[in-house]
Amino acid sequence: MKVHVIVMPKRTVLDPQGMVVKNAIKELGFAGVQHVRVGKFLELEFAHQPEKFRLETLCRDLLSNPVIEDFVIQSEADASGSE
Amino acid sequence: MRIAVLQFPGSNCDQDCLRAFREGLGAEADYLWHKNTSLSGFDGIVIPGGFSYGDYLRCGAIARFSPVMKPVIEAAGAGMPVIGICNGFQILCEAGLLPGALLRNRTLHFVCKMSLLRLETEGTPFTARLRKGQILRLPIAHGEGAYYANETILADIEAHDQVIFRYVDAFGKVTDQANPNGSLHNIAGICNEKRNILGMMPHPDRAWDQRIGSVDGISIFRSMLETAVALR
């Protein structure tokens, strides 16, 4: 089963990459863009559904740095559960 | 009396660090591959610069889980002097041994140049040979060197006198122009609260002999060595 993890820089952290991308978008004529932030998208594939607690620990310890980043976990199980 | 220079896959300042201790100070120093699980026989630790694990995921994020980091964390907790330079600083932050993190330079450029630093405090194993307020010339070479910590942590490290070096101009003043990477409060190096762990982006390992442009880095290593001897 697949688990998606989105890692984004915290709002309080300066994101120079996002600022450069925003300027490039403006240059292309998309005048309305106000803010761009660049993060990471990770796709993890497991043989079995991992425990939620262990997955969160993994995200906190390795996949993100809580000092500068926030993460969101999206798993297939969550998606089917909410339908 | 022996200094360990850690080696991770992708470390590239390990030779500079080893030579600084061996040739610059005539000290005993040896490489320690990251798969080692013991620091037995060593009295001080150097985590050199480079691109451990290709800087994949985040700088230092994977190296912090290397087997050698377990005894490093234990020894650091017991008071052994540990210095992390450049990528070594990033590894120490990722390992939670130092507060804060190092972000992409605000210009997005890799900076490689000589920098001027002001020593902000005394009373650490790395500064015994230096005077507070002294200006040091040390080179920097990094893409992710912008020191960041949230307001609470930043206030805390300032209050506990943990900022060791700040980037300054030729007059010794902390200015935005003298800040090469966007570090908060112009921070170039910090220590932990117990003051036995130093992390710094500038390279003392590239400034230990006049032939390579500066000798200002050797005092940091000499201070560390003398403390390690005293602690033995």
Quick check: B148 and A65 CB within 8 A? Answer: no
Q: Is the pLDDT of residue A81 over 50?
A: no
CATH number, residue B80: 3.40.50.880
Domains and CATH numbers, chain A: 2-74 (3.30.1280.10)
pLDDT at residue B117, rounded to an integer = 98
Does the distance separating the beta carbons of B107 and A20 come in below 8 Å?
Answer: no
- pLDDT tops 70 at residue A79: no
Q: Which residue of A has its CA nearest to B94?
A: A65
Instruction: State whether residue A7 sits within 8 Å of chain B by CB.
Output: no
Q: What is the rounded average pLDDT for all residues in chain B?
A: 97
Q: Does pLDDT of A80 surpass 60?
A: no
Is residue A57 scored above 70 in pLDDT? yes
Q: What is the 3-state secondary structure (H, E, C) of chain B?
A: CEEEEEECCCECCHHHHHHHHHHHHCCEEEEEECCCCCCCCCCEEEECCECHHHHCCCCCCCHHHCCCHHHHHHHHHCCCCEEEECHHHHHHHHCCCCCCEEECCCCCCCEEEEEEEEECCCCCCCCCCCCCCCEEEEEEEECCCEEECCHHHHHHHHHCCCEEEEECCCCCCCCCCCCCCCCHHHEEEEECCCCCEEEECCCHHHCCEHHHCECCCHHHHHHHHHHHHHHC
Range of the domain at B97: 2-231
Among the partner residues A62, A63, A68, nearest to B148 by beta-carbon distance: A68
Burial of residue B82 (CB within 10 Å: 0-12, 13-18, 19+) is: buried
Assess whether pLDDT exceeds 50 at residue A37: yes
Chain A residue with CA closest to B149: the answer is A67
Closest Cα in chain B to A12: B150
Percentage, residues of chain B above pLDDT 70: 100
A12 and chain B in contact, CB less than 8 A: yes
pLDDT at B115 over 70: yes
Distance in angstroms (rounded) separating the CA atoms of residues B33 and B21: 18
Read off the DSSP letter of residue A22. H
Q: Does any CB of chain B come closer than 8 Å to the CB of residue A17?
A: yes
Please say if the pLDDT value at position B14 is more than 60: yes
DSSP three-state, residue A55: helix
Mutate to test the interface with B, among A40, A68, A70 (most CBs of B within 10 A): A68
In total, how many domains does chain B have? 1
pLDDT at B229: 87
Closest CA to B167 of B152, B182, B154, B148: B182
The model's pLDDT over B209-228, given as tens digits with 9 standing for 90+, comes to: 999 999 999 999 999 999 98
pLDDT exceeds 60 at position B17: yes
Mean pLDDT over all residues of chain A? 91
